[in-house]
Amino acid sequence: MIPNPIRKVLLTFQNCEVRALLMGGQACVFYGAAEFSRDADFAVPAHAENLANLRRAMADLEAEVIAVPPLTAEHLNRGHAVHLRCHHGEAAGLRVDLMAVLRGLAPFPELWARRTTLGAEDGTRFELLALADLVTAKKTQRDKDWPMVRRLVEADYAAHSEQATTAQVRFWLREARTPQLLLELAARFPAECIALVKARPLLKEVHRGLAAVEEALEAEQRYERARDRAYWEPLKRELEALRRRR
């Protein structure tokens, strides 16, 4: 069950016509890879109308910005995250993190077009990043995110392996991080595995066995962590400059 503070934020966004996609740990809960999180992370478009609706929603939630940068289109569009804390009684203490640009992901209109929409009995809509986009967003330098990538793919495979579509098979082969699962997928879907080798060179290692796949997965993770660090380094310098000016 979605925690009441998160539900309050989602309902407020809905009432204020905010366009936003839930991501992070709370979205992982919906996809069956539970993660405890005290925050609510959202991807948002930073155009004028949505920002106006977002500010109205934040006012209703009695939320305040708790760090640099401020809630502006300029900072969101540069890739910064904006952090707010809610003080409304139904969401007191909940932190809301907003981003408009995410490393490795498409622009917001594309993310919105392929989103996952769920509904609750009280009329609250849950607009989530699509599973594949959530997995990409979780490929960061943080230790805690990589087990979550693994669990997201495993949960999807467990739920759909008996009647898999071609798109699902390709997703599992591109994103699985469990060596045994990769070997199983390669054995079940050899043609799809061969077709994806160019997109994911790691798949060339499946014929060499478990140890080779484990080593390749570790190398793949190190590469993605390095890319994430390089992406955030200039943004971190900008934040430090903002803090000094404040």
Quick one: pLDDT band at residue 27, thresholds 50, 70, 90?
very high
* Res 36: pLDDT: 67
Domain boundaries, the chain: 4-134, 145-231
* Res 91: pLDDT: 95
Mean pLDDT score across all residues of the chain: 95
CA distances in angstroms from 43 to 22, 92, 103, 170, 198, listed in the order given: 7, 21, 12, 25, 30
Mean pLDDT calculated for residue range 100-117: 97
Quick one: pLDDT band at residue 232, thresholds 50, 70, 90?
very high
Residue at token pair 């903002």: 242
Mean pLDDT calculated for residue range 148-171: 96
Beta-carbon contacts of residue 127 (< 8 Å; ≥ 6 apart):
20, 21, 22, 112, 115, 116, 117
CA distances in angstroms from 210 to 39, 127, 183, 203, 224, listed in the order given: 37, 38, 8, 12, 21
Q: Which fold has domain 4-134?
A: Beta Polymerase; domain 2 (3.30.460)
Quick one: pLDDT band at residue 120, thresholds 50, 70, 90?
confident
Residue 1 has pLDDT above 70, yes or no: no
Length of the chain: 246
Task: Tell me which residue of 70, 89, 92, 90 sits closest to 81, measured CA to CA.
Answer: 70
Task: Tell me which residue of 136, 82, 84 sits closest to 110, measured CA to CA.
Answer: 136
pTM: 0.94
Q: What is the pLDDT of residues 171-216, one digit of tens each?
A: 999 999 999 999 999 999 999 999 999 999 999 999 999 999 999 9
* Res 16: pLDDT: 97
Residue at token pair 């904006």: 82
